[in-house]
Structures are given as structure tokens and as C-alpha cells.
A and B are shown apart, each in its own frame.
Chain A
Amino acid sequence: MRVVLIIAAVAALDAAALLVGWWWVTILVAALTVFRFAGTRVLLAVLAGTVVAWGASMAAQAGSQLGAVADLVAAMALNNRGLGWVVIVVSLVYALLLALAGSWIGGAARRLRRTEPEVVAEQEETLEAQHV
């Protein structure tokens, strides 16, 4: 359940920020989430939420013309209208890189400040999370 909530929260925050062009919020949200919640599933949830936010925002902006916009950008950047799919893939991979970078920083910060008991607690938390 927590994973789903994280996905939804990350997606909502990212999407809201993207409405006004705040792409850097993707890093921030990922960092804060991973700082607060540890574990592989959390990381995957952050990545999933990011993709949902970016994908949905792209679709919302371009509407039914998502492919056409991608083709046009490919024309401008690569001089090849047929490579629109590359533009979509690059955009999503770029979003994932932002989230990964944020997650890494968040995780590192979390690990940096933790104490031994916290490690144990974290391990317990992680185990707990895996049973959610």
C-alpha cells in the first residue's frame, strides 16, 4: 500500500511542478522521498511515479498529437521526422535520471546521518516495507 501511495504522491508532486516548468522538483521529490523512506521498493516507486508524472504531463500537453510533436522535435533536433519515438524515450530516460540522481542523494544523506540503532531500525523498516 505504501508503495502505491508513494507512486501517487511522487507523480502528483512532480506533475504539479511540471505544469509550471519546474523540472528540478523531480530531483527534489525523489531525494526527499528516499531520504524519508528507504528500500528498493521505495526507489522503484519513486522511479515509477516519476515516469507516470512525466508521461502524463507530456500526454496532457501534446494531447492526441504526442507522436506528431515528438516527430517534429526529432525533425528539429535530429533532422529526421521518423525518430519521434527516440524523443519520447529520451525524455522519459532523462526524467528517470533526474529521479535517480535525487534518490541517490537522498539515500546517501540518509545513510550519512544514520546511527547504528537506526541501521537496525532501517533494516526492520525495510523488511516491513517488503511485506506491504
Chain B
Amino acid sequence: MKRVSFRRLLDVLGGLVLASLVLVPSATGLGALPALGTALNPGTGVWRLSADAGTARSGEMALPGLKNPATVSFEDNGIAHVRTGDDQDLFRVIGYLHARFRLVQMDLTRRQANGTLSEVIGAATLEVDRFQRDLGLRRAAERDWAALGDDNPAKATLQSYSDGVNAALRELRSGNRMPTQFAVLGYEPADWSPVDSLAVQRLVGQKISFDSQAPLFSYAEKAMGTEAFKAWFPDVPENKQHPYDKGPFKKLPLTPLPQRSFPDPGNGTTKASAAGQTKPDGPLALGAGSELAPLLERLGELPNSGMGTMGHSNSWVVSGSRTESGKPILSADPHLPHSLPSIWYQLEGRSPGYHFSGVTTPGLPVPLLGKTDDFSWGLTASQRPTTLYYLEKTEQGRPDEFFSKGSWQPMTLLREKIAVRGQSDVDHTIKLTSHGPVMEVEGLTAAVWWAGTLPNDNLHSMLKMLRARNIQEFRDSLSNWVTPALNFSYADRHGDIAMFNAGVAPQVDGHPPTLPLPGDGTAEITGSIPFEALPSSVNPPEGYIVSANQREVTGDYPYQYSTSYNWVLHGWRDGEIVDRITSAGKLSFAETAAMQSDWHDNNARQLVPLLLEALNGEQLSGSEQQVVDMLRGWDFTAGPESLAPAFFDSFKNRVSWVTFEPWWKHYGVKQNPGEYLLPKGPDAGAWAQETLRGTVLGWIQHDPDNKYFSLPDGTKRTTTQVLREAFHQSVKRTVEKFGADLNGWRYDRYQRVLFPSLLGISALDVGPMPWGGNPRTINTSVGTRDDDAGNPLSNLSTAGPTWRLNVDWGTGEANSIFPAGQSENPMSPWYANGVPVWMKGQFWPVLEGDAVKGTSEWRLRP
């Protein structure tokens, strides 16, 4: 009897053990494993992917909070057209739309901004979270939200937008229709708040304005000394420049900067606020996290986008005197890292007080580029110093103090806990000096003053801008713009064109803000360039204005401004754009739009003729003669079928290498820890190379006797010798790499473009595909990826024009395209439907009003 009972007991026990083994991972997941029941069940798990991937089915639905009925029409390409009877309804519907099509992107973006990625990803993103918490986007967003007055329209707009997002969240939750990616990741997003939007807004600014150029170039400046450093890296690049504001300049008194306040130092133990943004239950608190799934590992690579490594853009406006239509044309294409989904969500919004078409960023309620009924506008990053590094004096015995203005000051300490998936929370202490958070960047520990966390009311500026009726109102709307520093291009129906630089421009007495500054109080910021004195151009006599991240002003600008090494672009793209505009007759809309796909390399256009001249009389081998013949017939296009870029890719770097490499060895310039200040080899690119390429070209053109062409030991060299040596080396190297047959040198055999999935999953990427272009072409191709050894992957373009816009105020035509799609669902036909159109240099028309041919429509009722 006893034996039988024991067996039965074992029987029950076995059943319970098996049930537990199945139930625990089913209900809560294990470590990196998501909750299997939620993830795999056919009703609400991953198998819904195709059901949710639909474009947008017509129908009527409730959107709580709406004051009046609203509609959203969808074109067959996914572009949305929102019509509401109330202004706040418009932003509510935009929030709803964003959440319905980009919820995963929104949540990950918010987490990156807030420093809470590790909570859902694990230890792989811990350093990113630390970095973001140090930088303090969330702190700044909370501060600015608290400071918004009730009468500020930005407050209502942010609230309406959040309400729309949360309405979609509730709908998705109650219908068990959360995006499948959440099932795979094993969590659900929390409600959206206005503070989240403000944090995302700052993250967008971070991606284009937070830079590490000052500590990076300090390695060169320290080794070379100021004189040599300034010769190589001058304020104004040595090669031909195209500033859109040529003066005369006004030297106006500085304006005070918005004052930022940090939490009370006496408190000292400020705990992180509700930055978690997730349901606390579920898999996050469970499991050892011993083995991360590939998805989680790839997500761990997201920090790359936290540093401004790619902030190029083009925008130009041409007045009616130069266009076929007799009215202005605006073209704009912001260059950023490609991703699927894109940073952009395109829509038309119409309400009693607003009518715009343009691109929004999921998380933000307003378009950042686009057009209204009265004007069109574009943006380019103004590459002037807004990230300042202060070297604080500290002592081992005073770990939480810094020496400033003659005495030891306490740092403000903020103690936070970072939730990490698969392990216990990690303590993190943020140290703040009067200059900013203490951070380690490029091997340098410094307090970082970054304009991106200054108090700002940019959304209010954007709302005013969207209601502007003319150039004066547009300009006025920008007068309080704080950050990031941008050039706003403008063209309107009245015939006016303009470019306005906006944003704070910190000035430091007696020290260049582009290099690390002493933190002892002798290099404090004295104010900002007043808006009235920032670069601008209105209806210039030449009939065009171009911004392509070049230095906006001439050398006599009376303020501290960008330098050749402070991330500014060196005149290649703007040079090409100016050439194209000035050499054309009357520009048509189609011609202007086609310029955005231009692949002429302006560096080659200037350097190759000098090389060919230098080779006159030189003894050449058979291969070298072939290359010379090829170069003589080259139109300087770096298109997919071109042969010459194979050679020029090497040559442009070798000219700098042959000139400068003996010298930086002589000076003992050290490589930065990330090893991208100096080229690792004669054909490698590097940050210093970007500047030196312009420097050496300018010297060859205007200063051929410059001492740096000769060798440090006194051996005399001429520019001709330098060019010849670089040529011989480059031909040898190109033949070794691609063979002696020039037909094997086609650019598209090795130049590729890749549109990576935002989740970092290569199986969800589009590409790589044969491509053309380089960082100097108008149609920019920039690589932002490293190989496994940490070396930049050459010839893999992962960044470039993320949206193209053209508006002709004479014909009324407008078109646009972005290399992605409106939906983040990889199964949606709107996931990457813009890629092939973009690659062909084609566009989608920007349709408005009755011209919209909606293939489906949502009718939203309160």
C-alpha cells in the first residue's frame, strides 16, 4: 500500500515538475528568452505579424479625446493625410498614427534617450545607459516640461500628442495587437508622456550636434603646438569655400545663455525618476541572462547613433530669377544614418490653424522639414562648437570636488539605479560640476558642457514657424531657437528666399571652444552670439543660397565660430551645388530635383587637373599611362559605372599621407583611443584626413612652397614631387587590389549601400546593393560601420540622404522620397517601399487636398 502511494506521489510530482518547466518560461520567460506563451501563441503572438502588416484598412474607429471627427487618408505608398476640425486634434491624431506604425521605434528611441535600454536588452547596453544618464536628456526634458506655462501652446500640443499615442496603446493592448517585436523582446511599452517627447527631441539633437572633436583633436594640438596645428587645421578651410553669409558682419554684444540648473547638490542622493517605462513584472526581473539572443546583442549596438558621427545635409534655395517657373525652388535632403524604419514619418496635416506636409520624427508632434501653404523649409546642421569640454582640476583626496575660481567646489552627485535585464540593478552615480556632467570621451575625463541640455522651448518655435505667413514671421519664429544649431532654408510663394542660422553659439574668452578648456574658472562661457548676428542671407543678388554644412561665414566673422576641424564640411558638396546652379540656364523643377542624385566629386574636379599637370614629362609605366588616359576622360562622376573612383579613392588619401605622415611622426602625434584621428594606413580615412584633404589642396593651389611639402629633416620636396609620388603609389595599390584590367575597376563592384534594420538584425536589412557616391558627392554615401576589428568599413554606405524634398513655388509642384517606408513591420508593403524609388533618383509627388488619391481611409470619431 505504501509503495503504491509513493508511486502516485511521484506521479503527481512529475506532472507538476513538467508543468512548471513548461509554465514558467511560458508565462514569464527565462533570461533572454521571452514569455513563450505570449510569444508563440497564434492568437496574439508572433503569428499575427502578417495580420498586423496590412497597410491600413478603411474603417471607422473611436479615438478618445477627439473634439471633432477626423479622417486619415492613406496613399498607396503609405503617406498619410490627416484632417481634423481642431488644432489639438491634429496632434492627437499624429500621436495615434505614430504609435500605430512606429511603436517599437518610439519605445526604443525613448529608452535610448532616457538611458533605460538595459532594462529590456540587458548588460549589452549598460554603457549606453550610463552615458545617456550622465548626459541628462531625461533630466532636461523633465525640467523643461515643468517649466512650460499653461498658456504655452507647446504644452497642449505635447499633451494632445501623448494622448493620441496612449489611445493607440490602449487599443493595441486591449485587442492583443501589440507589435510582435515586443513579444520577441518580452515586454510591453508603458504609456507615453510629454516628457518622453521632450527627451526624444533632445536625442534627435544629440545625434546631429553632440560631438567629440575637441578631445579628439587635442591629441594633435598638444603634440604639434599651436602654430603648426593652426597651419594644418585653420579656422577657415584652405580650399575654396562658399559661405552663404559673406558679411559685412555686425559685432553685437553677446546675449546670455539660457540658465540650466541641476538638482540641489545638498540633496546628493537624487534617485532616478520614473524613467523605467515598462511593466515591472514579466521577464525583466527573471533569469540569469547568461546567453543573449542575437536580437538583444544587435540592439546593444544602438549607441552608435548616440554620437553625432553623421550630420551632413544639403539644402539650397534658388530665386525666381534663376528658375523656369519664375518663382523660388527649394531643395532639401537631410543626411543621417539609414535605418528601417526611417527616422522620418511623412504626413500632411490639416486643421483650422495648420496646414503642412513634411516629415515628422515618431515621438514628436510636428514636422521638422516640409512645406506649408505659404513657404517651404529645409534644415542643415550648423557644425559650430556646441559641445565644450572642461578639464576639471581634481585631487585623489577630494574625489567629489573640483577646483574652480580659487576654491574647491562640491560636485553634485546624482545616484541612480539602472535596471538591467537578467541581472540585479546597477548603481550609477552621475557627477556634475558647474560646467556639466563629468564624462570620459576619447580617453579624456572632462565635464561636458553641451547646448543640447540647455532649457529650450523649441517646440513653441516650431509651432510659431508652422503658422508663419511670410519671411519676417518665419525669421521671428526662430529667434528663440536654442539647440541644435541649424541652418533653416526658406522659399515662399511671394518669391522670397532665405537662409537663417539659429541656435546658441557659446563664446569663451581667451580660449578656443573647439579644444578642451581649463575648468578652473578662467575659460567660462561669456554668452552667445545674438540671433541678429548669426549667419543669414535674404534674397541675395546672386539668386541662390546653398548650405551643405560648410562654414557659413567668411574668415572676418567677428565671433568664435566653426573651425576646419570642428566637424565642418570642406566645401565639396556646396562647391558642386553652386557650380550646378550657376552653370545652368533657367532651372526647371526636374533639373533641381535631379541635382540631389548628382555624383560628381568636387575634390576630384579640383585635384585631378593638378595631378595631370604634375605628371607632364614624368616617365610612366603601361598601367600608369592607362590611368592617366582614363583620368583625362573622366567627368569626375563617382557613379556606379565609373572606373576612376577606384584610383581616386586611394589617391586623395595618399596625397595627404605623403605630405603629412612624415610630419605627424616628427611631431609624435598620438592616435586617439578609438584610433580614428589619424589614418591607420596610406589609404585609410580618418577625421584628420577630412580636414587635411582640404588643406593640402589649398596649399597646392595657392601655397605650393609651403614648408610642409618638404620633409622634417630638411629634404626639399615640391608639390609636383608629392603629387607624382602619391600617383605612383596609388596606381600600384589599385592594380594590386583590382587588377591591371581597368574594366575590373567599376565602382559598383565594390561600392555598396545598405539600409540596416533599426533592430540591428541583418536578416531584416535591405541590401547591400551596388551603389555609387562618396561623402563629397551631393548624393552622399557615407559609411558609419566598423568591421570586427574596429576598422571603418570602407565602401559600405550606411548613411546619406534620408529624405529628399523639392518644392517649386511657380508650378506648384512638390515631390519627396525617403529610402524606407512608413511602417516598421517588416512584413508590411510599406516597410521599405521607398528604397527602390530613392535608388533610381525618383520621387513620390507631395499631394495635398483634393489631389490626394487615398486608397484607404480611417474615420475617427470622438
Contact = CB atoms under 8 A, between A and B. Distances in A.
B47 A62 contact: yes
A59 to B, nearest CB: 8
A24 B763 CA distance: 32
Interface string A43-68: 00000000000100110111101101
B764 A76 contact: yes
B860 to A, nearest CB: 25
Of listed A18, A63, A65, A77, residue having the most chain B CB within 10 A: A77
Given A111-B11, A112-B8, A105 B16 contact: yes
Contact of B49 (A73, A78, A94): A73
B46 A73 contact: yes
A21 interface: yes
B14 A21 contact: no
B453 interface: no
A112 B16 CA distance: 13
A32 B406 CA distance: 80
B526 interface: no
A101 B176 contact: no
Interface of B: 8, 11-12, 14-16, 18-19, 21-23, 26-27, 36-38, 40-51, 176, 180-181, 184, 293-295, 298, 759, 761-764, 826-827
Contacts of B48: 61
A97 to B, nearest CB: 5
A24 B294 contact: no
Interface string A86-102: 01001100110110111
A120 interface: no
Contacts of B180: 73
A62 B49 contact: yes
Given A18-B42, A21-B45, A104-B14, A76 B181 contact: yes
* The 5 nearest A-B residue pairs measured at CB: A75-B763, A21-B44, A57-B42, A104-B15, A23-B41
20 contacts: A19-B43, A20-B176, A21-B44, A21-B45, A23-B45, A27-B23, A57-B41, A58-B47, A60-B42, A62-B50, A75-B763, A75-B826, A76-B295, A78-B293, A91-B42, A94-B36, A98-B26, A101-B18, A107-B15, A108-B8
Nearest to A57: B42
Interface of B is mostly: helix
Contacts of A41: none
Nearest to A18: B43
A105 B17 CA distance: 10
Interface of A: 17-24, 27, 54, 57-58, 60-63, 65-66, 68-69, 72-81, 87, 90-91, 94-95, 97-98, 100-102, 104-105, 107-109, 111-112
A78 to B, nearest CB: 6
Given A62-B47, A76-B763, 13 more contacts: A21-B38, A57-B43, A68-B50, A69-B49, A73-B184, A76-B761, A77-B293, A79-B295, A98-B22, A101-B21, A101-B23, A108-B11, A112-B11
> Dominant SS at the A interface?
helix
B317 to A, nearest CB: 43
A22 to B, nearest CB: 8
A109 B15 CA distance: 9
B293 A58 contact: no
B18 A61 contact: no
Given A20-B43, A76-B759, A112-B11, A100 B18 contact: yes
Contacts of B184: 73, 76-77
A45 B761 CA distance: 40
Nearest to B762: A79
Contacts of A108: 8, 11-12, 14-15
Contacts of A62: 47, 49-51
Contacts of B37: 23-24
B46 A69 contact: yes
Contacts of B11: 107-108, 111-112
Contacts of B761: 75-76, 79
A76 B18 CA distance: 28
Given A98-B22, A101-B19, A105-B19, A77 B295 contact: yes
B282 to A, nearest CB: 15
Contacts of A18: 41-43
Contact of B15 (A17, A78, A105): A105
B619 to A, nearest CB: 54
A77 B19 contact: no
A109 to B, nearest CB: 7
A13 to B, nearest CB: 13
A63 B14 CA distance: 38
B823 to A, nearest CB: 13
A51 to B, nearest CB: 12
Nearest to A112: B8
B519 to A, nearest CB: 45
Contacts of A57: 41-43, 47
A19 B23 CA distance: 20
B594 to A, nearest CB: 36
A38 to B, nearest CB: 13
A46 B826 CA distance: 36
A98 B15 CA distance: 11
B46 to A, nearest CB: 5
Most buried by B among A63, A69, A90: A69
A18 B49 CA distance: 15
Contacts of A90: 40
Given A76-B764, A81-B763, A107-B15, A63 B50 contact: yes
A94 to B, nearest CB: 6
Counting chain A CB atoms within 10 Å of each CB, the highest count among B176, B763, B764 belongs to B763
Given A19-B43, A61-B47, A62-B50, A79 B38 contact: no
Contacts of B50: 61-63, 65, 68-69
A61 B42 contact: yes
Contacts of B26: 23-24, 98
Could you say which of A101, A105, A107 has the most chain B C-beta atoms within 10 Å of its C-beta?
A101
